[in-house]
Amino acid sequence: MSALAGLDIALWDLKGKNLGVPIWQLLGGKVRDRVSVYAWIGGDRPSDVEKAAKERQRQGFKAIKMNATEDVGWLDSPSTLTSSVERLKTVKALGMDAAVDFHGRLHKPMAKQLAKLLEPHQPLFIEEPLLSEHPEGIKELYGQTTCPIALGERLYSRWDFKRFFADASVDVIQPDIAHCGGISELRRIAAMAETFDVAVAPHCPLGPIALAACLQIGVCTPNHQIQEMSVGMHYNVEAGEYDIHSYVTNPEVFVVRDGYVEALQKPGLGIEINEDLVRKVATDTKPWELKGFVGSDGGYREW
């Protein structure tokens, strides 16, 4: 599906540039002038979220997302969840909305406790409270919390999402444009979600091409609610000097103002790739290393 996504996005870009119009114009025209966005804070082991949230405010964001926990055991001490609540309260006190990503790190005994603890502090949504392999558990949890439930980065087509729509167990879906076949399939998934009154908030901790493609969808999709951006994300920080703006020659299109990015206006994807820099970086870039968590007992905590 990732290979198909690359081809699909490229073909939409070529079509738009050939006709001299942005992709959203080819998908029926815009339903909004700007797209709501959020950014990450806290890293894999969330800490010092106040400083990071203030930096996002300075950058124009009004919403952030952060991991809910570090590594947590299958059944762990309830005290391990205290810091999760405090981080949410800290960000909310700054006047920002905050989504909390469980990231499949928690299992049922802990997930239902944390959802209950977060509920009074009104997270924007809780993401992957359980892994998507457990639709029965997600459906059960859905009936126990008022927190909006989001998921979808580990699903690959509208047929994968179908079960959750039919179960009425999800409020927000997060298809990843690089996983689900590109613009064409993301558009189909969004249309299916609309029939079930489900919002769309695409997963995109990725680079400028994936982000631009998602923003094209956001401009023309009624139930698109908010878009993830990887500005300053810990993956980028670990990579050194490069961030989402580094590989485009028109980085101004990604400027965030009052929580929004304006609709991209140039033909195709609306961005111009700095191909020389991409080729330069590709010569000595190391493969991304998948890092896991090991608990105090020596066992793997996330996979």
Measuring CA to CA, which residue among 88, 160, 84, 161 is closest to residue 123? Answer: 88
Residue type at 201 in one-letter notation: A
Of these residues, 103, 107, 121, 245, which one is catalytic? 103
Q: Are 224 and 200 in contact (CB under 8 A)?
A: yes
Q: Are 174 and 142 in contact (CB under 8 A)?
A: no
Would you tell me the crossing angle of helices 183-195 and 2-19 to the nearest 10 degrees? Answer: 100
Tell me the C-alpha distance between 276 and 291, whole Å. Answer: 30
Tell me the C-alpha distance between 23 and 29, whole Å. Answer: 9
Active site residue 107: no
Tell me if residue 25 falls in helix, strand or coil: helix
Cα end-to-end distance, the chain, whole Å = 21
Consecutive H or E run containing 256: none
Alpha helix stretches (DSSP H) within the chain: 2-19, 23-26, 49-58, 82-93, 108-118, 135-142, 158-167, 183-195, 208-220, 234-238, 275-282
Tell me the C-alpha distance between 287 and 303, whole Å. Answer: 19
246-271 in b/e form (b: 16+ CB < 10 A) is bbbeebebbebeebbbbbbebbbbbb
Of these residues, 134, 179, 203, 245, which one is catalytic? 203
Active site residue 224: no
Q: Which residues are catalytic?
A: 103, 203
